[in-house]
A and B are shown apart, each in its own frame.
Chain A
Amino acid sequence: MTENIGELVAEHPLFSGLPVDIAELVGGCSQNVAIATGQLLLEEGEPARSLFLLRRGHVALEVHEPGRVPLVIDRIGPGQAVGWSWMFPPYRWHFDARALEPVGAISVDADCLRSKAEADPAFGYLLMKRLAAVMLDRLQATRIRLLDVYGRDVAH
């Protein structure tokens, strides 16, 4: 069942261009998953157990608050990755992630990935570089969004 999983990992932009054995290493922690529309991949407060590599369908990163529709923080799509809280203690999701349509993804088990990174620092460094690059990108984009450039009154 999982003999193709390494190839699928290698195809995903987060891991593309890395040596084949890296993809196999990650593949060993992975399974192919399908999530129905409206279901939560990540649930705020729950244990963070996977990194999701999206292959098909979009996911909304959101926060729920009584009396409001869920507040959408971001929308993540095919070729991107969802879920970072598995990287550091206390390993709990900070937000919800909801499938906006049928989603196909590779679910990489976090315990497996972390222990492989600990055991093989070279792999760990490659993994962290890839993840950090995406996180930096998102952080910069979020900071610009905070400035609310379209909404600022001149005479503020």
Chain B
Amino acid sequence: MDLSASFVVDRAGLDGLLGALEARGYRTIGPVVRDGAVVQQQVSSTDDLPQGWHDEQAPGHYRLHHDSDPSLFGWAVGPGSPKSEFYPARSLVWRATSTGDVVTLEQPREDSAPVALIGSRPCELAGMRVLDRVFAGGEVPDPGYRDRRESAFVVVAECGTPAATCFCTSMDTGPGVADGAEAGYDLALTELTSAGEPRYLVRIGSERGAEIAEEMGGSPCQPQDLAARNAVLEEAARRIDRKLDAANVRRLLAGNLGHPRWDDVASRCLACGNCTLVCPTCFCGGVTDTTTVDGGVERHRQWNSCFDLAHSLVHTGPVRATTWSRYRQWLTHKLSTWHDQFGMSGCVGCGRCITWCPVGIDITAEVAAIAASDGAVPVYIESGGDRS
């Protein structure tokens, strides 16, 4: 690592960062505790951040605990993700008005302040890269998405306390982020809590980051700071015991579309769509046109879920009419056909779908079950049946 691109600050330095971002007109979004979860909200000082909060996650289970720990980032991930900032859950696309037989369309001006993200996780950064490919890397780029992403200042916080549902190590998306501009952040933080008050090893990932870094103060990075960072990341990786065979899953699911496990998971799945809401990469959306009281028309774009019965509606009815079909679609898309469509996996190993599934379906367990009987088909013909 290039020592000249990194330095160490204390909590005051982080407040300096937040102040610098505010002074430059950013709307800073960071983690806060609200309604029993760590959620994304506008923040202005480190007092807003979840000091002393820790999350406990398991399939269908999320709890926060608080103690006197001075750490700000002693938790893994909450239900929200940066997806909401760059691909809003609902947005106005255009408005049409008519006078006589002339119809005029106008697009709303996007004039909100650029966003600064504080404390995004490496898996969330990976999720942003996945959405970048979908919305900015295809034949038809989404100009709104692209503008919001390009103007966003990203401060990623490496993970020191992964949750039990995390599997970023399997997806090569965490618990740390690499050096340099390719990694996609402006600044990266690693919270070092080994002695007393936490200190933050800051790495610079862009010119924009370097410019703001000058207002954070701080001291040069020492070898022991690097060692402390390595220790944090190694310990985090060691604690992650949930695994997904990422190298094999694409072929595994594509080749097991008739596997009996799909019936099994369908008997548990409620098709509630929670997984698609919390997933940082689920991007399915739709448009609805509505009339307004003054006789105009508005087109809105909003998130859709492939678990909706209407998601696959053709004029005779839905193509995927059962939970069986829809669950299979979601998981095979996320882990298999996403590769065909976008050249990468759709999953970043954040574990949110496992935590926030009301019945605790664990995609890593589903994949493992299919792998354990790879190629199984429901018993079709067995000879020697009864002769009654």
Seen from chain A, the residues whose Cβ lies within 8 Å of a Cβ on chain B are 1, 4, 8, 31-36, 39-41, 56, 65-69, 104, 107
B314 CB contact (under 8 Å) in A34, A36, A67, A69: A67
How many residue pairs, one in A and one in B, have C-beta atoms under 8 Å apart? Answer: 49
**Of B313, B315, B321, B387, most A-chain CB atoms within 10 Å:** B387
A79 to chain B, nearest CB (A): 15
* Across-interface contacts of A41 in B (CB, < 8 A): 381
Mark B309-325 against chain A: 1 for CB-CB distance below 8 A, else 0: 00011111111010000
Complex CA distance for A15 and B317, rounded to whole angstroms: 43
Q: Which of B148-176 contact A (CB under 8 A)?
A: none
Seen from chain B, the residues whose Cβ lies within 8 Å of a Cβ on chain A are 312-319, 321, 378-388
Complex CA distance for A56 and B385, rounded to whole angstroms: 11
* Across-interface contacts of B312 in A (CB, < 8 A): 67
Complex CA distance for A68 and B385, rounded to whole angstroms: 33
* Across-interface contacts of B380 in A (CB, < 8 A): 35-36, 39-40
Instruction: Please list the 7 inter-chain residue pairs (A to B) with the smallest Cβ-Cβ separation, ordered nearest first.
Output: A34-B385, A67-B314, A67-B316, A31-B383, A66-B319, A67-B317, A68-B316
Besides the known contacts A4-B387, A32-B386, A68-B316, 7 further A-B residue pairs in the complex with CB atoms under 8 A apart: A31-B383, A33-B383, A35-B380, A36-B378, A39-B380, A67-B314, A107-B381
A33 with B379: CB separation less than 8 A: no
With contact pairs A39-B378, A69-B321 given, residues A32 and B316 touching in the complex (Cβ less than 8 Å): no
* Secondary structure dominating the interface of B: loop
A67 CB contact (under 8 Å) in B315, B384, B385: B315
With contact pairs A40-B380, A67-B314 given, residues A33 and B319 touching in the complex (Cβ less than 8 Å): no
Nearest CB to that of A30 among chain B residues? B383
* Across-interface contacts of B316 in A (CB, < 8 A): 65, 67-68
